[in-house]
Amino acid sequence: KLEYVPDQNGRYELKLDGSFPGAELRSAETASGASLVATQPAVRDYLLGVQRSFAGEKLIVMEGRDIGTVIFPDARYKFFITATPEERARRRLAQSGEVTDGATLAEVAKAIAERDRQDSERRIAPLKPAPDAELIDTTGFAVGEVVDYIVKKVQAGTEEK
């Protein structure tokens, strides 16, 4: 059972079968299995409803490989955020629990590129930018710079309406 519940600060956290998985969701094992599980129609059908229910009538920021094309094709703002496999590998290596111990930059970059290839070629919900998404290559940019850019784009779009 998946649900989002507010924490003490009003931020939402994912709850899985009554507990909070936290860092387990970002582990190397979870990442490597996600592409295989995502090809299963029953899993995709289940997650489609669950992910859409999280939004309801609320504003939501969601990330994922098919959020703008499958889950929320009518979202008002869509950004397809990417970076080179090497840049993404550097970031992943800098995060605790993201990769197996002893992994090299080249190994992680190769695994990232391979997962992208697999996900781009899968029949169900392939990895691809939505036609109306803004492509943002974050190679060489800090997280804060990217967040600031997106926030400004959304604020500018909100002011236009």
What is the DSSP code string of 27-80? SHHHHHHHHHHTT-HHHHHHHHHHHHHHHTTS------TTIIIII-TT-S--EE
Three-state secondary-structure class, residue 5: strand
pLDDT of residue 95 exceeding 70:
yes
Look up residue 22 and give its DSSP letter. Answer: G
User: What are φ and ψ of residue 14, in 5° steps?
Assistant: -75, 135
pLDDT band at 117 (very low <50, low <70, confident <90, very high): very high
- CA separation for the pair 40, 37 (Å, rounded): 6
Look up residue 15 and give its DSSP letter. Answer: E
Q: What average pLDDT does the segment 93-113 reach? A: 85
What torsion, rounded to 10 degrees, do the Cα atoms 82, 62, 65, 140 define?
Answer: 10
pLDDT of residue 16 exceeding 80:
yes
pLDDT of residue 132 exceeding 80:
yes
Q: What average pLDDT does the segment 88-98 reach? A: 84
- Alpha-carbon distances, residue 32 vs 83, 91, 146 (angstroms): 19, 17, 26
CATH of the structural domain 2-160, one choice from 3.30.70.100, 3.30.200.20, 3.40.50.300, 3.30.930.10: 3.40.50.300
Whole-number mean pLDDT of the chain? Answer: 87
pLDDT band at 155 (very low <50, low <70, confident <90, very high): very high
Q: What average pLDDT does the segment 2-28 reach? A: 81
Predicted local confidence at residue 112, as pLDDT: 92
Tokens representing 113 are 């590129």
pLDDT band at 160 (very low <50, low <70, confident <90, very high): low
The residue ranking higher by pLDDT, 132 or 35, is 132
Contact, 81 vs 53, CB < 8 A? no
% of the chain residues with pLDDT over 70:
96
Predicted local confidence at residue 57, as pLDDT: 67
Contact, 94 vs 105, CB < 8 A? no
pLDDT of residue 75 exceeding 80:
yes
What is the value of pTM for the model shown?
Answer: 0.78
- CA separation for the pair 28, 31 (Å, rounded): 5
- CA separation for the pair 137, 71 (Å, rounded): 22
